[in-house]
Amino acid sequence: MLNIKGAYVVIGAKAPLAVILSESAERLFRDRISVVGLDKATQYQFGHSATNALPCSAECMEFVALNYQGAHEAQVRAICARIALRQPLGDDSDGGQHARIDTPVPLPSPSGSALLAGAAS
Q: What is the pLDDT along the chain (121 residues), one digit of tens a residue?
A: 556 788 999 999 999 999 999 989 999 999 999 999 999 999 999 999 999 999 999 899 999 999 999 989 999 999 999 999 888 876 544 455 554 444 444 545 555 444 444 444 4
What amino acid is encoded at 29 in this protein?
Answer: F
Rounded CA-CA distance 76/65 in Å is 7
Q: Which pLDDT value is given to residue 2? A: 57
DSSP one-letter code for 94:
T
Q: CA distances (Å), 88 to each of 22, 52, 96, in order?
A: 20, 22, 9
Q: How far is CA 101 from CA 26, 36, 68, in A?
A: 12, 24, 24
Cα separation, 41 vs 50, whole angstroms: 10
Task: Determine the pLDDT at residue 3.
Answer: 61
pLDDT on residue 42: 94
Please check whether residue 38 is in contact with residue 22, taking contact to mean a CB–CB distance below 8 angstroms: no
CB 99 within 8 A of CB 19: yes
